[in-house]
Amino acid sequence: MKGRGKQLVFGALGLVVVVVTFAVVLPRIASYTDVWDVVKNLDTKWLIALGIAVVFNVVTYAPPWMVALPGLRFRQALPFTQASTALTYVAPGGGIVGMAGSYGLLRTWGFGSSEVARAVTITGIWNQLANLLLPVLAVLLLSFDQQRDALLTTVAIVGAIVFAVAVGVLVLIFWSDALARRVGELLERATNRALQALRRQRRFEGWDERLVVFRRSTVHLIRRRWPWLTLAAVVGNLTVFAVLLVALRAVGIGASEITWVEAFAG
């Protein structure tokens, strides 16, 4: 009954998120009336192409989670990713709230806390790494197309630097059990001191060994599945670009006005 109650709560929360998204958030971005006026005048072939692009984009949200969380089925992953993504955009706190929602939803399906934490960590890291590398790729494509954009070049350089630093930090964290144990000890000590300052009696223990176990399981999964994680993250981002490009062409913005390379850079 307890599990059933949690499912009902999260189901109601998901419904609220959907209602708020379509009734409050989206109308502030674009008028439904204006969008419908454009859509009803589109050629049938562009409507079909746009529908296919959107379906592919929605479907690609699920595979990264299925790779990062063995045992998660597609029929679970698809609605879960849509709900958590919507929560990210709607709720105050953005990504942090979305991650918390992801954690809660997966826990209701019986996945362990360490498994969920690992999946949230891995998918978050891979998505951010993809987001950092794509501007670099966009600048390279623009250079091949003999175009330059100072702002995008700056973004790409910053992205490349952050990417290098992020990879370095990840390597350090997952380098050895000893380093993971040390990080766990530091986090445990800092947390307990903060609780002491707040005059809380609770104290945490064993974070060093837990982080070692977390490190081992994460490294094991990454070693086995990093190619699929990378492919899923890249394909997911490319399908977003596909929706943008099809939408541009559907409303009559041709390659003479915005090339596919410029659209990708955008």
Q: pLDDT tens-digit profile of 181-195?
A: 887 888 888 888 887
pTM of the model: 0.68
Q: What is the pLDDT of residue 10?
A: 58
Within 10 A of 151 (CB to CB), how many other CB atoms are there? 8
Kindly indicate the confidence band of residue 89, based on its pLDDT and cuts at 50, 70 and 90. Answer: low
More confident residue, 31 or 146: 31
Query: What span, in angstroms and rounded, lies between the C-alpha atoms of 256 and 260?
Result: 10
Q: Is residue 191 part of a domain?
A: yes
Instruction: Tell whether 252 is covered by a domain.
Output: yes
Assigned domain for 149 exists: yes
Instruction: Evaluate whether residue 141 is within a structural domain.
Output: yes
In a domain, 207, yes or no: yes
In a domain, 87, yes or no: no
Half-sphere exposure of residue 160: CA atoms within 13 angstroms, side-chain side:
12
What is the number of domains present in the chain?
1
Q: Is residue 118 part of a domain?
A: yes
Structural domain contains residue 32 = no
Residue 125 sits in which domain range? 47-69+114-265
Please name which of 185, 206, 217, 192 lies closest in space to residue 117, comparing C-alpha atoms. Answer: 217
